[in-house]
């Protein structure tokens, strides 16, 4: 079953941002990626690993929520064409 327009919009935005992040570090050397300003700081590699783990966890969580929502047969979305990308900006 295809994703709803809103969910697909979010997936596309996350993919776009992931690509931007990877592009921003693609030219760095191993030394730059592993550099830590101090012993307690994170390197760029540490941050990328953390982002990767969080991304994987969020994908699993989202998948489980979508499965549960489809099984519960929620009511139709009253505004299926409305964008949700900036919806959190309202809070």
pTM of this structure: 0.77
Q: What is the pLDDT along the chain (91 residues), one digit of tens a residue?
A: 788 888 899 899 999 999 999 999 999 999 999 999 999 999 999 999 999 999 999 999 999 998 998 899 888 888 888 888 887 676 5
Exposure string over 61-73, b if 16+ CB within 10 A, otherwise e: eeeeeeeeeeeee
66: which residues sit within 8 A by CB, 6+ positions away?
Answer: 3, 7
Instruction: Give me the pLDDT at residue 88, please.
Output: 66
| Cα atoms found within 13 Å of the Cα of residue 8, Cβ hemisphere only | 8
């Amino acid at each position: 079953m295809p994703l709803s327009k809103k969910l697909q919009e979010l997936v596309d935005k996350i993919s776009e941002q992931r690509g931007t992040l990877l592009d921003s570090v693609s030219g760095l050397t191993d030394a730059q990626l592993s550099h830590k300003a101090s012993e307690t700081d994170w390197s760029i590699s540490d941050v990328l690993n953390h982002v990767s783990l969080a991304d994987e966890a969020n994908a699993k969580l989202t998948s489980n929520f979508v499965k549960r929502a489809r099984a519960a047969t929620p009511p139709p979305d009253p505004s299926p064409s409305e964008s949700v990308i900036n919806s959190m900006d309202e809070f």
